[in-house]
Amino acid sequence: MNDSIITIRHLSHTYQSGPHVRAALVDINLEIVRGSCVAIIGVTGSGKSTLVQHLNGLLRPTSGTVVVDGIDVNARGVDLVALRQRVGMLFQFPESQLFEPTVYADVAFGPRRMKLSKREVRTRVFKALETVGLPPHEYAQRSPFDLSGGQMRRVALAGVLAMSPTILVLDEPTTGLDADARSEFYSYLRRVQQEQGVTIILVSHDMSEVAALADWLCVLHNGHLVTQGPPRSIFTQGDTLRTWGLATPPLSELLALLRQHGIAIPPEVFTLDEAFEVLQKLYNVPGPRVQVQQEKNHV
Amino acid sequence: MFKNISFGVYYPGNSLLHRLQARTKLLLLGWFTIFVTIANHHTWKFAPYIVLAISVLLGTALAGISFNHMWGRMKLLILLSLLAAIPTIFSRNDNSLPLYTLSPAHVAFDAIRWAIVIYGVVLTVYIILSWLPLPAIRSFLHWPGSRRMRITFIVLTLLALAILWLIRNHPPGATFPIGPFVITDTGTWALMTLFTVFLSLYAFSVILTTTTTPIALIEGLTMLLKPLRWLRLPVDEFALMALIALRFFPTLFEELEQLLKAQISRGADYAHGSLRERVQSLVSLFVPMMQGVLRRASDLSVALEARGYHIEGKQTYLHETSFKTLDYTVLAVVIVVTVGALLV
């Protein structure tokens, strides 16, 4: 891989509280390509959150190196403020971090810390709010606590985007959201990735979320990076994934079930469109594609 | 970053003291307090103190705490009590027997002045060295211990200036006496008893908290306070409050840690920047934190009511426990031995 934005070499991390020592990460080697969307999946306690917190220096490696955009995170005297500006991080339930009386002030919190001019802050806040689908003229002066859960989460996302990061780390960004708010959130994320070329790192155990967004998967199990690859090839290994406590997305599950019942579906079929096409060919049923498109929005 | 703060110091285990009821341990601690208070009044009788020392050692061994760990927990207190001992041992009482007298020493003001001058030279050398752009010195200045050294230097400098100002009017040849110091028998005895009582009671409380979970401790305390209910004191309310607080400490700290990380990630800085910026960073931490606490409290009260909690009702405990043979045996042995030691 030629243009990797993040390089992790032999990263290990051990938590120590009193007499208890627990290895959270063991010898992780990973490269993340600039502009890609990488999902880190694994069951609770597999070390996902620990891994991503190394990316902006919230945690320090017990051993090994983490290089983010040319900055060695563990180096002495590294400018953590600049690093954290480059690596935007959105935690679980980010709506709980909102605190300012207005949406504008909350989104401006980060940019103001960067010592930008007033006008620059304003441009950035407006642009960020625009990106997450909250028109500034309508939302900027409202209290963030009057918004719906999904909107609050988007305000939090805007707060991170306003610092114009080159890497965006999201820790289970859609847990607790309903299906509509979820797909809306995905569409804004995709927009950020495509329009601003931001590298996205997604921590998740929701497989349909991962299948919808990521183009590279890393599977963590008990602190070990057990496998990585494009979702297409990872999700064909349903049985292996289950030994790590993970499932495949509903569609892959369905296709596997159909295969078990003797329907010849090639293993590379991954999206709903492809599945539809294959089945259409198999059974020679002419069908309207519009319907599929609609269904896809719901998956 | 909060992972290193441990609330309560409970060490899981299955030793004799772990198996003892929390009530028993609390009763024993209370009894030992009474015991040492009585023993204090009998001058030059060692039996109670020998019993005390043996119980501390035995308790530590029975709790499965390593003596190394115990030393780690006690060393600061030992140092403090040694410092406190200095005035006690020289305290004078009219009818006490002097054991040893240290004759008065004469100190010349000149000597003090010279000492301060030498200190000044050392300080100047240190300051000049720290200005020099040598890499070895640079790395030394980044060493965390050097910060502590700088603070010591500042304190010493202020002290030296104060002394210089105080002795400015004395002629160079004059001397002043220090002493005489008299060590008396009551002073020695008071010191010894104070020392042992203080340390042993602290050791007992360390043993208690290492072998008892905070929850069991509160439940034990509530059961012991039961008689106060007849005086219409709110024992159960206290228990509920304490138990909820203990239960939610770790949860709230986890939340606070998460929040801290989230706000640091979006630019909050608690250690640098102007006062205004720092205050704003703190606001970004406390406003969401208070919101979380209040939300949790209201959820909890709804949950309590939904499950039929009623403050006037009779409370029961999740871990309903009663005294066992072990508890009675330990209590009996301790009381017999201590009362025996008092009567000897």
Pick B265's closest partner by Cβ from A15, A17, A56.
A56
Q: Are residues A214 and A287 in the same domain?
A: no
Q: Which residues of B touch A16 (CB under 8 A)?
A: 3-4
A164 domain-assigned? yes
Instruction: Identify whether residues A274 and A201 lie together within a single domain.
Output: no
- Does residue A209 fall inside a structural domain? yes
Instruction: Among A206, A238, A270, identify where a domain stops.
Output: A238
Q: Are residues A201 and A278 in the same domain?
A: no
What was the pLDDT predicted at A287?
56
Task: Indicate if A21 and A148 belong to the same structural domain.
Answer: yes
Question: Cα dist. B242→B137, B216, B247 in Å?
Answer: 52, 11, 8
Whether A84 contacts chain B with CB within 8 A: yes
Q: Which residues in chain A have their CB less than 8 angstroms from residue B267's CB?
A: 81, 84-85, 109-114, 163
Q: Does some domain include residue A226?
A: yes
Note whether A228 and A116 are same-domain residues.
yes
> Does the residue A210 lie in any domain?
yes
What is the per-residue pLDDT for A203?
Answer: 92
Same domain? A25 vs A92: yes
Q: Are residues A258 and A134 in the same domain?
A: no
pLDDT of residue B6: 45
Where does a domain end: A219, A238, A257? A238
**Would you say residue A243 lies in a domain?**
no
DSSP A40-75: EE--TTSSHHHHHHTTTTSS--SEEEEEETTEETTS
Interface check for B11 against chain A (CB to CB < 8 A): the answer is: yes
For chain B of 344 residues, list the mean pLDDT of each consecutive stretch of 10: 49 84 90 88 82 90 84 83 74 65 74 86 85 72 72 87 82 71 76 83 88 85 85 83 83 87 86 81 89 90 88 71 86 91 84
| Residues of chain A below pLDDT 50 | 1, 290, 299
Task: Return the pLDDT at B103.
Answer: 67
Distance from CA of A58 to the nearest CA of B (A): 7
Got the DSSP string for A84-114?
A: HHHEEEE-SSGGGG--SSSHHHHHHHHHHHT
> What confidence score (pLDDT) does residue A296 get?
52
> Could you give the number of structural domains in chain A?
2
What mean pLDDT, rounded, does chain B reach? Answer: 81
Q: What is the CA radius of gyration of chain B?
A: 29
Of B4, B264, B288, the CB nearest to A99: B288
Asked if B3 and B13 count as a contact pair (C-beta separation under 8 A), the reply is: no
Residues of B in contact with A88 (CB under 8 A): 265-266
A232: tokens are 């297409």
**Could you report the predicted ipTM of this complex, rounded to two decimals?**
0.83
Distance (Å) from the C-alpha of residue A163 to the closest C-alpha of chain B?
A: 8
Note the pLDDT tens digit of each residue in A146-170: 998 889 999 999 999 999 999 999 9
Considering the domain architecture, whether residues A297 and A164 belong to the same structural domain is answered as no
- Measured between CB atoms, does B19 come within 8 Å of chain A? no
* pLDDT for B4: 40
* A98 closest CB neighbour out of B265, B283, B288: B288
Which pLDDT score, from 0 to 100, does residue B226 have? 83
CB contact under 8 A, A58 and B264: yes
pLDDT at B5: 41
Instruction: Please indicate, yes or no, whether residues A30 and A106 belong to a single structural domain of this protein.
Output: yes
Q: For the sheet containing A20-33, what is the strand order?
A: A20-33, A4-17, A63-68, A71-72
Per the domain annotation, does A244 fall within a domain? no
pLDDT at site A289: 53
- Residues paired with B215 in a beta bridge: none
pLDDT computed for residue B322 by the predictor: 81
What is the residue range of A296's domain?
A: 249-299
Task: Based on the fold, state whether residues A178 and A289 are members of the same structural domain.
Answer: no
Query: What would the pLDDT profile of B79-128 be if each residue is shown by its tens digit?
Result: 888 887 777 666 666 666 677 776 677 777 788 888 888 988 988 888 88
Q: Omega before B227 cis (within 30°)?
A: no
Looking at the partner chain, which of A87, A97, A113 has a beta carbon nearest the beta carbon of B262?
A97
% of chain B exceeding 70 in pLDDT: 89
- Identify the domain boundary among A204, A238, A272: A238
What residues have CB less than 8 Å from A256, skipping those under 6 apart?
A238, A248
Would an 8 Å CB–CB cutoff place B274 in contact with chain A? no
* SS3 state of residue B280: helix
Cα separation, B86 vs B75, whole angstroms: 17
The answer to whether residues A227 and A263 belong to one domain is no
Residues of A in contact with B268 (CB under 8 A): 109, 113
- How is chain A split among helix, strand and coil, in percent rounded to 5? 45, 25, 35
